[in-house]
Amino acid sequence: MIFVKKKEGIAKLSSYLSENDTSFLILHADLKQSSRNKVITEFDCEKSTILISTDLSARGIDFKDISHVINFDLPYTGDTYVHRIGRTARAGKKGNAISLVEAHDQRLIEKFSRYTDELIKERFVEGLRPSHKKPKITKKKKKKKK
């Protein structure tokens, strides 16, 4: 399952996958309910092993046996991050959550780490290691009340 922030992200990613002859399904809020139900059923019946979705499917839809969740774009909030990665490893099963992080999203990863109270392990894709240093994140100091 691959999550994107906006429908534009679905268009970009689906174009790439289509060019590479990869089968996938899409799910977003502009689909009619009957179309959404069809996509959910097809994904659960494994007619396709890839589902690209906006945060519409981060909550309330119980998919079975999702082994991997990929955050193609990071969500805006820690709550949505937890719901996205919670699509995998359901009912005691194991699963993997992978987030693709650009430099400008580094602050979000730090924020999600604090929100979940867990260290989010950093790994790099071969050949895509950044050539610049990670931005230093400083906490804002609280102003003292007088």
Confidence of residue 146 (pLDDT cuts 50, 70, 90): low
How many whole angstroms separate alpha carbon 87 and alpha carbon 34? 22
| pTM for the predicted model, two decimal places | 0.81
- Domain span at residue 25 reads 2-116
CB 70 within 8 A of CB 2: yes
- What lies within 8 Å, CB to CB, of 48 at 6+ separation is 23, 24, 25, 42
In a domain, 122, yes or no: no
In a domain, 130, yes or no: no
In a domain, 126, yes or no: no
How many whole angstroms separate alpha carbon 87 and alpha carbon 23? 20
Question: How many domains does one find in the chain?
Answer: 1
Model confidence pLDDT, tens digit, residues 87-133: 887 777 788 989 998 877 888 888 999 999 988 888 887 887 777 77
**Is the predicted pLDDT of residue 29 greater than 70, yes or no?**
yes
In a domain, 81, yes or no: yes
CATH of the domain at 89: 3.40.50.300
Phi and psi at 28, nearest 5°, equal -155, 170
